[in-house]
Amino acid sequence: MGLIELAFIRNELYKGQVTDEYLETLNEVKKTVMHNNNPYKGLIILCIDLAIKNIELNDYKSAAEEINFIHNFPIKDDLSSWDSDHFFNIELLGYIEKTQDSLKLRKVIKEIAKFC
């Protein structure tokens, strides 16, 4: 489980498709980061929880946006694969532009502040 799975799930959600297997994978990713020393786990868990909530509401595009935001984060112990410059220069700005919910943005920024 990791980057490929999250990117695949994101792509499927953009197409309006979801399966129990995708939800299981999201929960596996969540469990993995909860039980390792991942400095990004707060943001990863927050976005997965938001994605699952959106899936339950049949809002697959919003769920895909949440997964898109975190799909490049390292899930396991190899943290060297994460490109923080790309995240801060591209992905974070895109996420902020698309998000209209200020409460959600505050939660996201709070989690990002923990690893800055």
Statement: residue 99 has pLDDT above 90: yes
Residue with the larger pLDDT of the pair 80 and 25: 25
How many CB atoms are closer than 10 A to CB 91?
Answer: 17
pLDDT at 3: 57
pLDDT at 27: 95
Q: How many domains does the chain have?
A: 1
Amino acid at 78: D
Q: How much is the average pLDDT of 85-105?
A: 95
Structure tokens at 8: 């695949």
Smallest CA-to-CA distance from 21 within 13, 4, 34, 9 is with 9
Q: How much is the average pLDDT of 74-94?
A: 88
Q: State the burial class of residue 116 (Cβ atoms within 10 Å of its Cβ: 0-12, 13-18, 19+).
A: exposed
Count of all residues that appear for the chain in the document: 116
pLDDT at 2: 55
How far is C-alpha 53 from the chain's CA centre?
Answer: 13
Instruction: List the domain range (segments joined by +) for residue 90.
Output: 3-113
Statement: residue 1 has pLDDT above 60: no
CA separation for the pair 86, 102 (Å, rounded)? 23
Q: How many CA atoms lie within 13 A of 33 on its CB side?
A: 24
Q: How many CA atoms lie within 13 A of 25 on its CB side?
A: 18
Q: What is the pLDDT of residues 55-81, one digit of tens each?
A: 999 999 999 999 999 998 988 867 787
Q: What is the pLDDT of residues 26-56, one digit of tens each?
A: 999 999 999 988 899 999 999 999 999 999 9
pLDDT at 82: 84
